[in-house]
Amino acid sequence: MNNKANWIEEAWQQVVTKIDRTSYSIGASFPNGSRDGRYTKSPAHDWVSGFWPGLLWLVYQETQNERLKDLAVQCEREISQSLWEFDSLHHDVGFMFGLSSINQYKLLQDEEAKRHGLMAASLLAGRFNPAGGFIRAWPNWGGEDHSGWAIIDCMMNLPLLYWASREIADPRYRLIAEIHADTVLREFVLADGSVHHIVCFDPETGERITAIAGQGYAADSAWSRGAAWALYGFALSFAYTGKVTYLLAAKKVARFFLDHLPADFVPYWDFRLPAEDEGMPRDSSAAAIAASGLLELASLLPEADGREYKRSAESILRSLYENYTARESDDEGLLLHATGYFAEDIYVDTPLIFGDYYYVEALRKLKNNGRK
């Protein structure tokens, strides 16, 4: 076994051992960010709720650990109850139901889970604003009017719509996803491949009003996790539609992301921090998301064309394994040094459940040579 295979197998075994252990303390709940070595828990309607069952499904597929499967099924049952809590939902039903219900349907042929996924797709389609050609992100939380807000993260929710169109042979869901992706390409992606987090539209006319910082350093900066969402999201849109414009967009954002990485391949939380702020925290979750997106991109290209993306993903994952995993501690998280929302001091320099999920997803792809 060569050195490359050694570190990948070691990293995977570390994941399996840790998920088996933490599954006892986390149970059928919904971890979010880590505080003092333990994950805080969110309600079932929170955007992060799908990542823990998604993680359990990833490990279950390799180990056939029935206890992990049972926990994932319990989580899906709780998440599905949010379908009847309309006011609590948002565009992130793609993350929620894609990783829980759709996986459960695919792996267990669970028809009820399939119906939950289709209901969630219908709710997501219902957030589409035809005037501006975008999917509205959030309800009017916090006293703010979000009726014209779209965010880059939604590129990762579009697979729920693509899946629904294929499942029931109805193009409407796919067409909504494509219109939204086209709007993101036009209004979010800058000439250099960086992306905005939030773009605000007039909800009546669809006219673009402005971009705002969101979780980035500034409106004209480059939030690293946003770039990772865009890279992966456009690659998935190309996978589902075959539209070359999405492939080119994924490559463009990937180039920006890779060109702006520091020496250890794990980005700061924003790529355009002022020089005096270069000591700011990293975001290991952005690195993990990008690594899985790069492997997705590589799998969609001829081997020679995808080689650079796969090699870059390997470099990111190896650095995460060697320098960012919590193997020397009993922290419930897998990846240290992620940054949730820096400006609001929410989960800064700590594990995040979605960072853990995409790290394991990418590691499994690499271990299985692209097989999902």
Residue 210 neighbours by CB under 8 Å, 6+ apart: 199, 200, 219
The single residue of 36, 70, 87, 92 carrying the catalytic annotation is 92
Structural element, H or E, at residue 113: helix 111-125
Token pair of 163, please? Answer: 């899946």
Token pair of 90, please? Answer: 């948002």
Can you list the positions of beta strands (E) in the chain? 31-35, 38-41, 128-129, 134-135, 149-151, 198-201, 208-212, 338-341, 346-350
Cα separation, 56 vs 80, whole angstroms: 17
The single residue of 87, 110, 145, 153 carrying the catalytic annotation is 153
Sole residue written with tokens 């999405």 = 246
Complete DSSP assignment for 175-235: HHHHHHHHHHHHHTB-TTS-B-SEEEE-TTT--EEEEE-TTSSSTTS-BHHHHHHHHHHHH
Residue 325 DSSP label: B
**Known catalytic residue: 349?**
no
**Known catalytic residue: 202?**
no
Cα separation, 351 vs 286, whole angstroms: 12
Sole residue written with tokens 């001091």 = 345
Sole residue written with tokens 């097989």 = 371
Token pair of 317, please? Answer: 């994952």
**Three-class SS of residue 256?**
helix
Q: Which residues are catalytic?
A: 92, 153
